[in-house]
Amino acid sequence: MNNNIKIVLNTLMVTALAFGFMHHLVPAVGQPINFERLHIFLFNLCSGGTILLYHTENQGRLTQRTTLFLALAFAYAILAFLHLYIPAMIVSLLLALLVEIIRVRRFSFLPLNIFSRATPVSIKFHHAALLCLSLGLIISSLVILNNEYLKLLTMKKLQLDTFFLGFSFPISLITMSVMFSLMEEEREKENGYCFWKNFGFWSVNLGVIVFFLLILFEKLLPQVGVTFILFFTVVLIFYLFEKQGKKNQQKYFLTSGMVFLLFTAITGIAYIILELLPSYDPQNMKFLLRVHSFASLYGWNLTGLAVICRQQDFPIQLHSRTIIVLHWLTVIILAPLGHFTPIFAMIATVFYGIILYFIFYSRSATGSLT
């Protein structure tokens, strides 16, 4: 990955986090300003979607198609932020078409390999990530069409921002793909690993789909059950990764990412259980919700994207444990506090920029520095 791409992605990611704190400077009082959209879009769709396509095309550079995706994704983020919904829908469908062109070139039009036992699970996760991205773009356009114009469905949770959060799922899937690609394949059938890897794939994908439907229909109690299933699935995948994952520098980062994912599962379960209590007050849950969202977006998701961006350079001259500790400090403590206090917002943004600088610009090494 050349320096120009690194500069663009680094800038997008830092700007994305900064927009999460923009309410300190521009309070949304009496105006429909929602900086959360830019906070999510610039990271998930612009940065994450671009890195997913960069990884898929595997050219070591941004092709014309991926560059076009980045430009259109940025335009989509601005249009959705400004509530310019008709051009936003058009751009969204163009993005979905572009993702599908790249998906079909890399895999096939019909995703039959996802259902084949012979297909490595890493490939299944990769293909599913592309499908999820294109479907997410199409569905978000349909939600805009329904909510702003047709108004055929009226559901409390059928909100645009709810569906925009779904753009983080393709990043989760491609991170899983990278993890499974690092697992040893030798004698996995004799040890039962093949079955459990495929079980993990289907449990993650179907579990998230069911969970999302339960959110739409506001079924809290079943949500608890599904989140427990997803939690134990993550534990299973973590075990498989620790058991079979190749011991290299990437594994340190991805292991930290898996702990982030477990942490988000625990905080998610805690939030839903507290929501069921008679004494539930949304105002008292704001900090927990922020910890959960930052851990998911800038903890787990960032880990996978970072490994993909530097996959050709590992091992890199980087003290992994120091960066991981700084990463946890920034995401779990400083960033959530920054949502409520400007000084912590500034510190979190600076620390986050430092983390990205070392991840993107540390030189390749001949030996692993951990």
User: Could you read off the pLDDT of 240-295 as tens digits, one per residue?
Assistant: 999 888 888 788 889 999 999 999 999 999 988 888 888 888 888 889 999 999 99
The residues, any chain, with a CB within 8 Å of residue 165's CB and separated by 6 or more, are 40
Enumerate the β-bridge partners of residue 364.
Answer: 316
Q: Both tokens of residue 304?
A: 């996978």
pLDDT band per the 50, 70, 90 thresholds, residue 369: very low
Share of the chain residues as helix, strand and coil, in percent rounded to the nearest 5? 75, 0, 20
The beta strands (E) that lie in the chain are given as none
Enumerate the β-bridge partners of residue 73.
Answer: none
| Model confidence, pTM | 0.92
**16: closest CA among 84, 86, 73?**
73
Residue pLDDT, tens place only, 315-354 = 787 667 889 999 999 999 999 999 999 999 999 999 999 9
Residue type, 313: D
Query: Range with the lowest mean pLDDT among 24-38, 56-70, 87-101, 146-160?
Result: 24-38
Distance CA 284, CA 364 (A): 46
Residue pLDDT, tens place only, 192-238 = 788 999 999 999 999 999 998 888 888 888 988 999 999 999 999 99
Give the CA-trace dihedral at 209, 117, 96, 177, to 10 degrees. 80
Crossing angle of the two packed helices 301-309 and 342-361, in degrees rounded to 10: 30
